[in-house]
Each structure stands twice: as C-alpha cells, then as structure tokens.
A and B are shown apart, each in its own frame.
Chain A
Amino acid sequence: DAGVIQSPRHEVTEMGQEVTLRCKPISGHDYLFWYRQTMMRGLELLIYFNNNVPIDDSGMPEDRFSAKMPNASFSTLKIQPSEPRDSAVYFCASSLTVIEGEQFFGPGTRLTVL
C-alpha cells in the first residue's frame, strides 16, 4: 500500500478564498483523522471518522471548517473562507482501530493563507 496520500502538498491562497484539502487513507483502515500542526499549538486533532461517519468534531475551530468522508477511500477538509491564522500543516492519518490503534500519517499539506 502507498500509505496515506494527501493533496496538495503545498497550498498558497489569499484570505477569503475557499481551500479544500484531500486525503486517501490506507485501504482497510476504518478510522480517519484530520490534524492541524503549528509551532504555537502543536498537533491538534480536528475531527475523526469511523466507517465514513464523523465521530468527534470537537476540535474543529469554527464553522469555517468542514470535513466530509463520502466513501472509505476519500476525505476532504474544507476551509471557507480562509484566514491567515489558518496557516499550518494539515495532516490526515488513518488507523485500523481507535483504541490502542497505531495511526499512520500522511505527508501533510502545508497551507499558507496570505
């Protein structure tokens, strides 16, 4: 398996624009996680899915952020409208289980909002 795939790897956009980040988890993994990493706040869990259903979105910072998982092999994280403070590296991870589950991370998307 190719591992967790994320696209794009880098995104530069202007404030107010819509941003869509994409993730393909490892085949067979039932859990998918979206994280955001910044120097100030470290690695924060935004939302996670189980079998395509959002389970916990308490980490989503505000209504400008939304995430979907239309099928087992694809998820998106959307920011609309984007703001400079959204600049961060966004990681997607997947795992077989959630309790004691090893998480496999993608390479991340570095988002810069000007």
Chain B
Amino acid sequence: SQKIEQNSEALNIQEGKTATLTCNYTNYSPAYLQWYRQDPGRGPVFLLLIRENEKEKRKERLKVTFDTTLKQSLFHITASQPADSATYLCAPAHTGGFKTIFGAGTRLFVKA
C-alpha cells in the first residue's frame, strides 16, 4: 500500500541555521507533491508544490527538492527564525492526482 514517511521526531535547530525536513514515499509515483505548514490549533496552510519533472523549487527562504528515483522530497528553510516553528506536512498526490495524501508531519522548533 502507499506509504508516506516523515521524520517522526521533532527537529530542533538554532535560529539562523538551515532546517531540512525529509519526506519519503513508497509504492507509488506521485505526479507532484505539496508541502503545508500547520500551527497548533489551526488548519494546514499551503506552502509549495513541486512537480515530478522539477528537481527543485524555491520561494523566498524555502526550497523543495523532489527525487523520483529515491522517492524522496526534501524541504529546506534557510536562515530559520523562531516564527518558522510549526509542523510541516508533505502531501504527495495520489495516483491520478485526484487527491493528496498527507504525511504525519515533522515538528520543527527554532530556538532564538
């Protein structure tokens, strides 16, 4: 069955460093993958989408890579700030693209 894995343990980093979050998927080949941010008590908020034919996508301090051979996406936040502390969810598209499946998320803590 299709499976999505994100770092289950929280990631703690110092302000100013680059945070790297991992999303691995198995048993399918999504045509695209989305990343969302979720703050406590709130719904997820869309950040970025990357397609299978795109190796890398950037938006301000965010960078996402998509390696279809490794079946992995990496999400980077450069020059991290305490305000970046949140849970980050990866969401690869289901086969056919008619729905997305969310990973469990990785909790990021950025310390000042």
Contact = CB atoms under 8 A, between A and B. Distances in A.
A98 B98 contact: yes
Contact of A98 (B46, B89, B99, B104): B99
A45 B43 contact: no
B43 A42 contact: no
Contacts of A44: 102
Question: How many interface residues does chain A have, given as a range?
Answer: 20 to 34
B98 A42 contact: no
Interface string A13-39: 000000000000000000001010000
Contacts of B82: none
A34 to B, nearest CB: 12
Contact of B99 (A56, A91, A105, A106): A56
Contact of A42 (B34, B99, B100, B103): B103
Contact of A108 (B43, B45, B49): B43
Given A45-B102, A107-B42, 10 more contacts: A42-B102, A43-B89, A93-B43, A98-B99, A100-B51, A100-B93, A102-B34, A102-B46, A103-B100, A105-B43
